[in-house]
């Protein structure tokens, strides 16, 4: 069973640029959530996708957008990058319908640095 | 909105027992989860409580009191490898979208 994978591992971008981060969910998981984790803080929920539809969104501006594909992999896109977007971006997948309490399986994250 | 409070740091010695508390304020509460994160690693699931009471999984136990909006994680027989950050997280709707606390950094000393 393959776990959650994310690419790239590290990324350096300039303010104002756009970035796309990728996530492959664990086999059999149809729900993917994205989180932003600043250094020394807890992960903050960005949004969740279930069967290719956005299923919920946290307090992030519209320049944070996403996609989920038929194979349940997912992308996070961030436009007009700001310095405060520098963080670890975590993808987590969960089985079935993302029912509350389901264990979420996190990927290793993408470390984004905006200069 | 949602907010969770947990201590920022806890220190304990190997073999001891430590309790990490978490209080929360949230609407539409479904349950409380705990995750462990080692430096440079991904969060890993430890436990979930939807109902009041104690859930035990090996050396780790988790407790929830919905009426007090309070829970804790209990770690017994501490080992050096337990040194990590521990996060409580609230599921505030059926879709399991988690709101995390700021994390408690546990340092286990010999």
Share of chain A above pLDDT 70, in %: 94
Q: Is the model's pLDDT at B4 over the cut of 70? A: yes
Residues of B in contact with A105 (CB under 8 A): 45
Using a 10 angstrom Cβ sphere, with 0-12 exposed, 13-18 middle and 19 or more buried, the burial of residue B102 is: middle
Please indicate whether, in this complex, the C-beta atoms of B42 and A101 are within 8 angstroms of each other. Answer: no
**How much is the pLDDT for A55?**
86
Residues of A in contact with B102 (CB under 8 A): 41-42
Question: What are the tens digits of pLDDT across the range A63-88?
Answer: 999 999 999 999 999 999 999 999 99
**How much is the pLDDT for A99?**
59
**How much is the pLDDT for B94?**
66
Query: Nearest 10 degrees: CA dihedral of B32, A7, A29, A78?
Result: 70
Residues of B in contact with A40 (CB under 8 A): 103
**How much is the pLDDT for A97?**
56
> Which residues in B have their CB inside 8 Å of a CB on A?
4, 30-31, 33, 41-45, 48, 50, 87, 89, 91, 93-103
Residues of B in contact with A38 (CB under 8 A): none
Choose among B38, B53, B59: nearest CA to B103: B38
Question: What are the tens digits of pLDDT across the range B72-107?
Answer: 999 999 999 999 999 999 987 766 789 999 999 999
**How much is the pLDDT for B109?**
97
| Alpha-carbon Rg for chain A in angstroms | 13
Residues of B in contact with A41 (CB under 8 A): 102-103
Question: What are the tens digits of pLDDT across the range B22-66?
Answer: 999 988 888 999 999 999 999 999 999 999 999 998 999 999 999
Please indicate whether, in this complex, the C-beta atoms of A42 and B101 are within 8 angstroms of each other. Answer: yes
Chain A: residue whose CA lies nearest to B40:
A108
The sign of the torsion formed by the CA atoms of A47, A84, B88, A10 equals positive
* Residue B5 CA to its chain's centroid (Å): 11
Determine contact: A62 vs chain B, CB below 8 A: no
Question: What are the tens digits of pLDDT across the range A40-51?
Answer: 999 999 999 988
**How much is the pLDDT for A100?**
57
How far away is chain A from the Cα of B86, in angstroms, using its nearest Cα?
Answer: 9
Q: Is the model's pLDDT at A109 over the cut of 80? A: yes
Choose among B88, B94, B28, B43: nearest CA to A98: B94
Split at pLDDT 50, 70, 90, the class of B13 is very high
Q: What is the mean pLDDT of chain A?
A: 92
Q: Is the model's pLDDT at B19 over the cut of 80? A: yes
- β-bridge partners, B70: B23, B65
Cis geometry, peptide bond prior to residue A8 (ω within 30 degrees of 0): yes
Average pLDDT over residues B1-23: 95
* Residue A79 CA to its chain's centroid (Å): 14
Distance CA B71, CA B33 (A): 9
Average pLDDT over residues A46-64: 93
Q: Are A35 and A46 in contact (CB under 8 A)?
A: yes
């Amino acid at each position: 069973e393959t776990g959650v994978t994310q690419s790239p591992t590290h990324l350096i971008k300039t303010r104002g640029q756009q970035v796309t981060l990728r996530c492959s969910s664990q086999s059999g998981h149809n729900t993917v959530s994205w989180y932003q984790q600043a250094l020394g803080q807890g992960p903050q929920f960005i949004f969740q996708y279930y069967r290719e539809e956005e299923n919920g969104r946290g307090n992030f501006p519209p320049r944070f957008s996403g996609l989920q594909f038929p194979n349940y992999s997912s992308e996070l896109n961030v436009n007009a990058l700001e310095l405060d977007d520098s963080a670890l971006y975590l993808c987590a997948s969960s089985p079935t319908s993302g029912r509350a309490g389901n264990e979420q399986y996190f990927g290793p994250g993408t470390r984004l640095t905006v200069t | 909105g949602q907010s969770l409070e947990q201590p920022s740091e806890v220190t304990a010695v190997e073999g001891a027992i430590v309790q990490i508390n978490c209080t929360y304020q949230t609407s539409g509460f479904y349950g409380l989860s705990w995750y462990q994160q080692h430096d440079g690693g991904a969060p890993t699931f430890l436990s979930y409580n939807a109902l009041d009471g104690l859930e035990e999984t090996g050396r780790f136990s988790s407790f929830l009191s919905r009426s007090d909006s309070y829970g804790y994680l209990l770690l017994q027989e501490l080992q050096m490898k337990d040194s990590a950050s521990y996060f409580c997280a609230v599921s505030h709707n059926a879709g399991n979208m988690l709101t995390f606390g700021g994390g408690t950094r546990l340092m286990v000393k010999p």
